[in-house]
Amino acid sequence: LAKVSQTIDSTSSHSFSVFPLGRQNACSRKADHHHHHRIRTSKFGNFLELTPESEPEFLVFDLPWFHPSDRIRYDVIIIGTGPAGLHLAEQVSSRHGIRVCCVDPSPLSTWPNNYGVWVDEFEDIGLVDCLDKTWPMTCVFINDHKTKYLDRPYGRVSRNILKTKFLENCVSNGVKFHKAKVWHVNHQEFESSIVCDDGNEIKASLIVDASGFASSFVDYDKPRNHGYQIAHGILAEVESHPFDLDKMVLMDWRDSHLGNEPYLRASNLKLPTFLYAMPFDSNLVFLEETSLVSRPVLSYKEVKRRMAARLRHMGIRVKRVIEDEKCLIPMGGPLPVIPQSVMAIGGTSGLVHPSTGYMVARTMALAPALADAIAECLGSTRMNRGRPLHQKVWNGLWPIDRRCIREFYSFGMETLLKLDLKGTRRFFDAFFDLNPHYWHGFLSSRLSLAELAGLSLSLFGHASNSSRFDIVTKCPLPL
């Protein structure tokens, strides 16, 4: 699962998906200095009154910078140096000597997101050495009486190791960097250019937007009727916590902590939130209260109030808040216009899993295929430019079958939007009883259309009568 100003796409947006984690608006780590609603405190205090101690950090790295006097015309300009942008730059620049320039206001900033992934996902793409913590099992608390134990290891991504790895490969491949904010993108028939806030204009055959959900460079021709995942997370030093150190908590749907909070309990029955927890040791834990998906978005203040009530009920006393994160992730909605003059990857390209918020591992896995499509056009003797280039690269990211699969996941999101707490519990009770091939593949966006059809039939078979009623009455037809 993953989780606002930093996404996996750019260092100026954030995300820590929860379905979390892998997530991706975006999420940011920042101090919230103003609290207009005072939450009832107890002997355990109110963690919302603690100021996060972390400060923005920067990697020490010697980057090759863009110089206007060089008058270089690049093959590809990538806007944003988040995981999506840097990994694509690494992949594209390794193919046929394609010249790449990455543009970002702060290319050496450490990423503020806490990214969580399934270990097998990073094993498949050769990035397992970039995990700094793994848990051999995960668990899902359906309610106070039922817990699912999932035999699928989970890991936290080391942001510094992953970014350093990408930067080293980019530098080895000759990628240039420019520290600036992009103001405008201009297009001619066979060439595009960006205009930066420092006055520099840089030209290239292809512009790729990896700057995150807030970008205005990518066009849509349909209303962006998103669902939203919102979360508040803290990396905290605590006096103690009740979590097993060998299990990460993927979802905790229990609501007994709201027994003395009638307003919060009633609200949670309609629009439920869950706790996501990564225990690092007996005194260090990442905690995140998350609304999986809602429309309109659930109040951020409400999410924090529910989290405070939960921690108080669990007896978790927070001594220090090391980092905090506010996450807002648009989910579902239409894809960008395909094709168009600006290519996109990451949040602005529609890669967020519409039903879960996962994105990091999937974006890492798709970058090589997109790089191949770019190289086939710009690295060939034909040097395809203009519309043929744009058509090729967009279809490389979103072939027809992948668009159809995304529609299936979007229908799943629409179903989740209609479920209250009881319906949500019933859904995940049945979902995690499926053959692991199905639920692994669903969460990792690995299933074909035929397999998704099989998942639907199996889910219906595993569901309780009440859950089957929800599926029949609330699930869009394609699911």
Instruction: Catalogue all structural domains in the chain, each as residue range(s) with its CATH number.
Output: 1-398 (3.50.50.60), 401-474 (no CATH)
More confident residue, 25 or 233: 233
Rg of the chain on CA atoms, in Å: 22
pLDDT over 90, % of the chain: 75
pLDDT per residue over 444-453, tens digit each? Answer: 999 999 999 9
Who's near 464: CB < 8 A, 6+ residues apart?
426, 429, 430
Asked whether residue 41 carries a pLDDT value surpassing 70, the answer given is: no
Confidence of residue 470 (pLDDT cuts 50, 70, 90): low
* Mean pLDDT in residue range 354-359: 92
Q: What is the mean pLDDT of the chain?
A: 88
pTM to 2 decimal places: 0.88
pLDDT of 387 reads: 86
Per-residue pLDDT at 10? 45
Question: Contact at 8 Å (CB) between 51 and 31?
Answer: yes
Give the mean model confidence (pLDDT) for residues 423-440.
96
Torsion of CA 228, 156, 48, 59, to 10 degrees: -100
Check residue 19 and give its pLDDT: 43
Pairwise CA distance, residues 327 & 228, whole Å: 10
User: Which pLDDT band holds residue 380 (cuts at 50, 70, 90)?
Assistant: low
What is the structure's pLDDT at 469? 65
Provide the sign of the torsion angle of the four alpha carbons 311, 312, 317, 319, taken in this order: positive
Peptide bond into 334 cis (omega under 30): no
Written as one string, the DSSP assignment of 422-443 is: HHHHHHHHHHTTS-HHHHHHHH
Mind listing the pLDDT tens digit for each residue in 239-277? 999 999 999 999 999 999 999 999 999 999 999 999 999
Q: Give the pLDDT score at 44.
A: 46
Distance CA 305, CA 477 (A): 36
Does the pLDDT value for residue 4 go beyond 60?
Answer: no
Beta pairing partners, 148 = 140
pLDDT 10s digits, 194-223: 999 999 999 999 999 999 988 899 998 888
| CB-based contact 224:333 (threshold 8 Å) | yes
pLDDT tens for each residue of 157-201: 999 999 999 999 999 999 999 999 999 999 998 899 999 999 999
Looking at residue 63, its amino acid is L
In this predicted structure, the answer to whether residue 146 has a pLDDT above a threshold of 80 is yes
Residue 13 vs residues 52, 252, 286: alpha-carbon distances, Å = 18, 27, 20
For the chain, first and last CA: distance in Å? 22
